[in-house]
Chains A and B, each alone.
Chain A
Amino acid sequence: MKYLFIDSATTNLVVAIINEGKIAYIYDNNDGHDTSSKMMPVLAEAFENTGLKPQDIDKIFVVTGPGSFTGIRVGLTVAKTMAYALNIPIVPISSLEVMASCSGGTALINARRGYVFAGTYDEKLNVIYPDSYVLMSDKLDKPYISYDEFEFTVEKSKIDVLKVIKKHENDYPVNPHTLKPNYLKMTEAEENFNKHDRKS
């Protein structure tokens, strides 16, 4: 089986092609370019490098969040469009699970004003604390893993894409038309609207 893996939810863009259980190509980089212009050239490079065509892919694994709203949409739009056009299954993956995939721990993404997107996974990627948008606190299990800088100690995230894919290889695929980002956070306009609604 040939799989495509896409994660553009964090500052770190990951595009990988997995061929018969092995990583045939991986781009795992944080070089500060914008994901929207970088994503497709990286994808094209991945196919060229492996001698495969998009039509050869059997299944897509795509990170649906949490993370940068725009980043999530960039990768998810590409993945949804491919899955729809090529009529292949698509499986949603958590950005935090990917971040914690090497050895487990609590993956953190800075969500500003003291808040984080946090999720705790053990080394087998079982969920210990489900992905949430929360105020940062000591109650979250260490070690902390992140790409972001915090005032406390965090380990730089290292990822194991194969481990993530093996964990989710038999997940039930979703309909690409209805696959949505997992922002874990309403827009500010919606929050204000709800607050206002409750008051009146």
Chain B
Amino acid sequence: MNVLAIESSCDETSVSIIKDGSEEISTVILSQMDTHANYGGVVPEIASRMHVENITIVIDEALKKANMNMDDIDAFAVTYGPGLIGSLLVGLMAAKTLSFIYNKPLIPVHHIAGHIYANNLVKRLEFPLIALVVSGGHTELIYMKEDYSFEKLGGTLDDAVGEAYDKVARVINVPYPGGPLVDKLAFEGEDTYDLPIPLNDDSYNFSFSGLKSAVINLAHNEKQRGNEIIKENMACSFQNRVVEILVKKTMRALKDYGVKNLIVAGGVAANKGLRKGLTEACLEEEINLIIPEMKYCTDNAAMIGAAAYYAYKRGDKAGLDLNAKAVTELK
């Protein structure tokens, strides 16, 4: 089954053709990152404007790259949420139109399910598993007993982890998108700043706004005293606290649920500090750790096409009245 999938939930317009949920035939990603960098973050209205300008071009490119035409497509899939509503709507309307014109199924895919199934493009998922989803918009621990069954164990109570990285980057004067640069600086510095481990409790939830505030206050106080913040050290201390809590709660979830498979998904899965922390912990606990290739960490339609196959098998199918949802739980 060939699925043409569309992803437009944030600042990437992407279209992929995926066979049977595991074979990537073609993927095209048009990133708007350079435009949004001018504004220090994604501007929703500008993102929506760029999606509508590019959507048909990206669809066409994906088909050409696959050397296919619409007759070769068996179903259309689309991210319906969560994400920026105006951005989501462009991909959603395009997918609904194609499904209508060609009278083929329309498969709605949750963005997080996509991030999880990005791993299926690398290696068939093994169940049961725990998924740690970490990105600019999400921080979640999910238990999966089998394909397309999601039980949310916990999530962030405030900022997503990637969001905290971007905000800390601003405090220590690192340009947007700050996450990758903070990660890089962290390896050049030492853990000298006294920052709290955030929400260090028995739940599977996370909270990063307190840690972020601690960084802001520390930077402010140092400035008052006429001291310069040592960027590298601040990045290192911040990253260490983040990685500590993510690793700790993830390892506990694996133990509590007696699960031997861990997958990491989302943009922050590219973070080297987190990769290192999880790799070490999983080696020690003999956990089978799967971290996707860098190209599958950021938003892309390949992951939506992969998830769509299993969503369809579960019976997920949408009508032409499918709407986009800015906020929606993974079920």
Instruction: Find out whether the CB atom of B94 lies under 8 angstroms from the CB atom of A77.
Output: yes
> Which residues of B sit under 8 angstroms from A151, Cβ to Cβ?
none
Instruction: Find out whether the CB atom of A84 lies under 8 angstroms from the CB atom of B60.
Output: yes
Complex Cα gap A57–B57 (Å): 21
B59 within 8 A of A: yes
CB nearest to B43 among chain A residues: A189
A44 within 8 A of B: yes
Instruction: Find out whether the CB atom of B48 lies under 8 angstroms from the CB atom of A81.
Output: no
Instruction: Find out whether the CB atom of A73 lies under 8 angstroms from the CB atom of B98.
Output: no
Complex Cα gap A114–B171 (Å): 38
> Which residues of B sit under 8 angstroms from A130, Cβ to Cβ?
none
CB nearest to B321 among chain A residues: A37
Q: Which of A100-108, A164-172, A174-182 contacts B (4 or more CB under 8 A)?
A: A174-182
> Which residues of B sit under 8 angstroms from A188, Cβ to Cβ?
45
**Given A81-B56, A82-B97, A37 and B323 contact (CB-CB distance below 8 Å):** yes
> Which residues of A sit under 8 angstroms from B53, Cβ to Cβ?
180
Complex Cα gap A176–B38 (Å): 28
Instruction: Find out whether the CB atom of B89 lies under 8 angstroms from the CB atom of A41.
Output: no
- Give the size range of B's interface with the partner: 35 or more
B290 within 8 A of A: no
B52 within 8 A of A: yes
Which of A78, A86, A187 is packed against the most chain B CB atoms within 10 Å?
A: A187
Within 8 A of B (CB), among A146-200: 176-177, 180-181, 183, 187-190, 193
Shortest B200–chain A CB gap in Å is: 38
- Selected from A78, A177, A190, the residue in CB contact (under 8 A) with B93 is A78
> Which residues of B sit under 8 angstroms from A80, Cβ to Cβ?
52, 55-56
Shortest B71–chain A CB gap in Å is: 11
Instruction: Find out whether the CB atom of B321 lies under 8 angstroms from the CB atom of A38.
Output: yes
Within 8 A of B (CB), among A81-95: 81-82, 84-86
> Which residues of A sit under 8 angstroms from B57, Cβ to Cβ?
177
> Which residues of B sit under 8 angstroms from A183, Cβ to Cβ?
49
Which of A74, A78, A81 is packed against the most chain B CB atoms within 10 Å?
A: A81
CB nearest to B41 among chain A residues: A189
B320 within 8 A of A: yes
**Given A41-B321, A86-B101, A193-B38, A36 and B92 contact (CB-CB distance below 8 Å):** yes
> Which residues of B sit under 8 angstroms from A34, Cβ to Cβ?
323
Instruction: Find out whether the CB atom of B98 lies under 8 angstroms from the CB atom of A43.
Output: no
A-B contact count (CB 8 A): 100
B110 within 8 A of A: no
- Selected from B43, B48, B322, B324, the residue in CB contact (under 8 A) with A69 is B48
> Which residues of B sit under 8 angstroms from A18, Cβ to Cβ?
none
Report B87-130 CB contacts with A as 1/0, cut-off 8 Å.
00110111011101110000000000000000000000000000
A135 within 8 A of B: no
A54 within 8 A of B: yes
> Which residues of B sit under 8 angstroms from A43, Cβ to Cβ?
100, 320
- Selected from B46, B48, B97, B324, the residue in CB contact (under 8 A) with A78 is B97
Instruction: Find out whether the CB atom of A69 lies under 8 angstroms from the CB atom of B86.
Output: yes
Instruction: Find out whether the CB atom of B52 lies under 8 angstroms from the CB atom of A181.
Output: yes
Complex Cα gap A37–B90 (Å): 12
- Selected from A40, A81, A189, A190, the residue in CB contact (under 8 A) with B320 is A40
Complex Cα gap A80–B52 (Å): 9
**Given A176-B56, A177-B56, A187-B45, A77 and B323 contact (CB-CB distance below 8 Å):** no
CB nearest to A181 among chain B residues: B52
Shortest A58–chain B CB gap in Å is: 15
Instruction: Find out whether the CB atom of B52 lies under 8 angstroms from the CB atom of A36.
Output: no
> Which residues of A sit under 8 angstroms from B94, Cβ to Cβ?
77-78, 81
Complex Cα gap A70–B324 (Å): 12
Within 8 A of A (CB), among B279-331: 319-324
Complex Cα gap A76–B97 (Å): 11
Complex Cα gap A36–B59 (Å): 20
A145 within 8 A of B: no
Complex Cα gap A98–B269 (Å): 50
CB nearest to A84 among chain B residues: B56
Complex Cα gap A181–B323 (Å): 21
- Extra contacts, 9 of them, besides A43-B320, A85-B102, A189-B39 (Cβ < 8 A), are A36-B92, A69-B48, A73-B90, A77-B97, A78-B93, A81-B59, A81-B93, A84-B60, A187-B46
Could you write out 6 A-B pairs with CB less than 8 Å apart?
Answer: A36-B92, A73-B93, A180-B52, A181-B49, A187-B46, A190-B46
Residues of B within 8 A of A (CB): 38-39, 43, 45-46, 48-49, 51-53, 55-57, 59-60, 70, 85-86, 89-90, 92-94, 96-98, 100-102, 319-324
